[in-house]
Amino acid sequence: MGTQTVAIVEDDRDIREMLTDFLGGQGFAILSAPDGASFRAQMATARPDLVILDIGLPDDHGYRIMQWLRERGADCPPIIIVTGASSPRDRSAGLDLGADDYVCKPFDLGELLSRVRAVLRRAAPRPAPVAVPSDLHVRFGPWLLKRDDRVLLHEPDGRQVDLTAMEFDLLSVMVQRPNQVLSRDELLQLAHTRKAEPFDRAIDVRITRLRRKIEINPTHPGFIRTIRGIGYMFHPEGAV
């Protein structure tokens, strides 16, 4: 693999130069932009492997840039958003819009480097995983997961639960592997997504949201149980 390019979109000159020097010293080629307009102009000819994007730019909100990048389809690079430590809504909204990860200001350069490398690994082409044979319709508790139609139904009343694509993929992976401990990395690979890394909190956010939709008591989950320090395990029998 050749030299990978990281685009840094940050209006704070000190932070932008610090990131340029640090990541450049780690062997990355760097593109830097102080605002949205400059970045959009650069993207006319550049194809960075990853974008570090400050949400609070002076001329263009980071969300709009993210949406603009996502409209590029397969040409969209992975994105790490930078947000204020006291902005949980920014972090949540950024993940919902498709950010691959996030860091909060002030951030540790070592942690940022780990996240950059992790997201780049996730974005790299992977061999297609071996399919796991299983029933297309899976029942657990009061639920019926129709994997062919990508629908989750509450059987007692026929109610359909609104799941995001990633929530459905995560649940589908887990129901096919009942009572197996799955690491965050395994879940992400099997769900065919690059949206997070094993140590990334993004996977935990999505599991939390999934629990709110299927668990009787999301604070004491029965179906999706946390295996501390490893990942998660799916129990089809629910609470015991």
- The residue segments making up the domain with residue 153 are 137-234
CB of 206 closer than 8 Å to CB of 216: no
pLDDT in tens, 136-166: 899 999 999 999 889 999 998 989 999 988 8
CATH of the domain at 164: 1.10.10.10
Mean pLDDT of 66-89: 80
Whole-prediction pTM: 0.55
The DSSP output letter for 217 is S
Domain boundary among the residues 77, 97, 123 is at 123
Domain boundary among the residues 70, 89, 123 is at 123
CB of 196 closer than 8 Å to CB of 100: yes
Residue 70 pLDDT level (bands cut at 50, 70, 90)? confident
Q: Is residue 132 part of a domain?
A: no
Q: Give the chain's end-to-end CA distance (angstroms, integer).
A: 49
